[in-house]
Amino acid sequence: CNPETVSTDYDTSDRLYFEPLTLEDVLEIVELEKPKGVIVQYGGQTPLKLAQALEANGVPVIGTSPDSIDLAEDRERFQQLVEKLGLKQPPNRIARNDQEALVLAREIGYPLVVRPSYVLGGRAMEIVYGESDLARYVRDAVKVSNDSPVLLDRFLDNAVEVDVDIIADSTGAVLVGGVMEHIEEAGVHSGDSSCSLPPYSLSAKTQAELRRQVVELAKALNVVGLMNTQFAIQTSEEGDDTIYLLEVNPRASRTVPFVSKATGMPLAKIAARCMAGKSLAEQGALKEIVPHYYSVKEAIFPFAKFQGVDPILGPEMRSTGEVMGVGRNFGAAFARAQEAGGIKAPPVGKVFLSVRDPDKSRVLPVARDLIERGYT
C-alpha cells in the first residue's frame, strides 16, 4: 500500500509503520501490536501472497479467507470454478518449459497474451503474434520452469474491456459498486486505459449480464469485502455480445477511488465495515448507484518528460498517475478529463497515421473525421 497517503496524517492511523511488505516484517508488527487480525485487501497484489503464510503463523486474516484468495489466484483452481459456473474464459494454458509453451501455443492459436504466473503491473507481459515472437519471449524475457510457469491466453482482438468493482458481506449479500467501460481496447493494461462510469456504449442487456456474473463469482468465492473483476466483450457482425472473464482480484483495485468519487459511495469504508462483521443491510448499502452524469478516468503518462521512450501502450503498465472528468454526457466528461490531464488537441495540420495491417479498414473512419476537422 502507499504509506504516503497517511504519512502526514495525525488522527486516522493509531500506528504507522514504514516497512517492506514481507512476511517477516508483518509478523514482527503483529507480535508487537497483537491485533485482532489483519486486512490484506488494501495493499494491491503483494499482501494477497502473504495471506496463507500469515494464517499458517496463527494470524487471523479479516475478510475474504486465504483459501478463497488462493481459489481466485490459482489458475487451475479458478478455471475449474469458472467451468462449474458456466462462464467463458479466453482459451488458455500453463507452460512449464520452453518446448511445452510452443506446443500449447499451437493448440490455442495466435495471437497470445503471455506472462509469468505472478505479475505486478503487467511486467514482462507481451502480446505475441507468432512462434518466433514466443520463442524469443521464453528465451529472453522469462525463465520458464515448474516453479515459474508461463501463462498463455488467447488474445481477444477488437474487444472492449470492462472493470466491475463489488462489495460482499458475510451474509452473502453483494453490492455492485460500479461498472466501468474502457475506452482503449482489451490488450492495453487496465491502469493505462481511460474508462467511463456508467458505460458509454454497452447495451443494458450486456450490463445486466455482467452484474449477474460478478454476483455469482463473489458468492462462489465467499468474498467478504472488495472484489474487482475484469471482462472482455467481443461483438459479432450481427451485434451479439460475447462476454469473456479475464481475471478476478479479491481485493481493492486501483479503480476504487474513482468509483467512490463518481458515485459518492465510500466503497473502502463500507468494505472495511463488512470485514469487521457489519452487513450491507445494516449499513444501508444494498443498491448500486448509477449516476445520471458521466465520469471518465484518464491515465497520465511520462512520455513528454522522457524523450525517446516508446509511447506505444500494451499489457505492461506505463502510466504514472490519473485524472478525472465529469460531465452531463460522455463527450463532455471525456473532454474535461483530457483538459485535466493537460492533453491538448494538436493544431490543424498534417497527421501521420500508422496501424498494423488488420486494423487498416478500421482506421478509415478516424481518417475521415480528421479530414472533416481540417487536418490533412
Q: Is pLDDT above 70 for 353?
A: yes
The residue from 72, 101, 120 where one domain ends is: 72
Identify the domain containing residue 55 by its residue range. 3-72
Q: Chain-centre distance of CA 178, in angstroms?
A: 13
Tens-place pLDDT, residues 132-188: 888 888 877 667 666 678 889 999 888 999 999 999 999 999 999 999 999 988 888
Query: Does residue 323 belong to any structural domain of this protein?
Result: yes
> Do 312 and 196 fall into the same domain?
yes
**Count: domains in the chain:** 4
Q: What is the CATH number of the domain that holds 124?
A: 3.30.1490.20
CATH number at residue 33: 3.40.50.20
Together in a domain, 146 and 34: no
Q: Tell me which amino acid residue 235 is.
A: T
Is 84 contained in some domain? no
Q: Which residues of 318-342 are buried (b: 16+ CB within 10 A; e: fewer)?
A: bbeebbbbbbeebeebbbbbbebbe
Task: Please check whether residues 282 and 316 belong to one and the same domain.
Answer: yes
Residues 61 and 201 in one domain: no
DSSP 195: E
Same domain, 133 and 164: no
Whether 277 and 233 map to the same domain: the answer is yes
pLDDT score for 289: 95
Question: What pLDDT does 354 receive?
Answer: 87
Asked if the structure places residue 229 within a domain, the reply is yes
Check: CB of residue 128 under 8 Å from CB of residue 101.
no
Same domain (yes/no): 95, 191: no
Query: Residue 118: helix, strand or coil by DSSP?
Result: coil
Residue 11 lies in a domain: yes
Least confident residue range of 10-24, 232-246, 317-331: 10-24
**248 is a domain residue:** yes
Q: For the domain that residue 253 is a member of, what is the CATH number?
A: 3.30.470.20
**Alpha helix stretches (DSSP H) within the chain:** 23-33, 46-56, 66-73, 75-85, 98-108, 131-136, 204-220, 256-263, 267-275, 330-340, 360-372
First CA to last CA distance, the chain: 47
224-233 pLDDT, tens per residue? 999 999 999 9
pLDDT in tens, 39-66: 999 988 889 999 999 999 999 999 999 9
Q: How far, rounded to the nearest angstrom, does the alpha carbon of residue 202 sit from its chain's CA centroid?
A: 18
**Structural domain includes residue 79:** no
Residues 216 and 356: their CA atoms lie apart, in Å, by: 38
pLDDT, residue 332, reads 97
Looking at the fold, whether 336 and 355 belong to one and the same domain comes out as no
What pLDDT score does 139 carry? 79
Confirm if 219 and 172 have CB atoms less than 8 A apart.
Answer: yes
What is the spatial distance between Cα 234 and Cα 218, in angstroms, rounded to a whole number?
23
The Cα 347–Cα 104 span in angstroms is: 49
Asked if 38 and 136 sit in the same domain, the reply is: no
Q: Do residues 166 and 296 share a domain?
A: yes
Which of the two residues, 73 and 224, has the higher pLDDT score? 224
Name the nearest CA neighbour of 195 among 180, 206, 207: 180
The pLDDT of residue 359 is above 90: no
- What is the per-residue pLDDT for 173? 97
Please answer whether residues 72 and 246 qualify as being in contact, where contact means their C-beta atoms are separated by less than 8 angstroms. Answer: no
* C-alpha distances out from residue 78 to 53, 214, 329, Å: 20, 14, 38
What residues have CB less than 8 Å from 350, skipping those under 6 apart? 375, 376
Mean pLDDT of 200-222: 97
Span 326-353, average pLDDT: 92
Looking at the whole model, is its pTM more than 0.85?
yes
Pair (354, 336) in one structural domain? no
In a domain, 81, yes or no: no
- Residue 289: how many CB atoms within 10 A of its CB? 14
Quick one: 204 and 318 in the same domain?
yes
Average pLDDT over residues 101-114: 90
Q: Decide if 82 is inside a domain.
A: no
Question: Looking at 122, 139, 154, which one is the last position of a domain?
Answer: 154
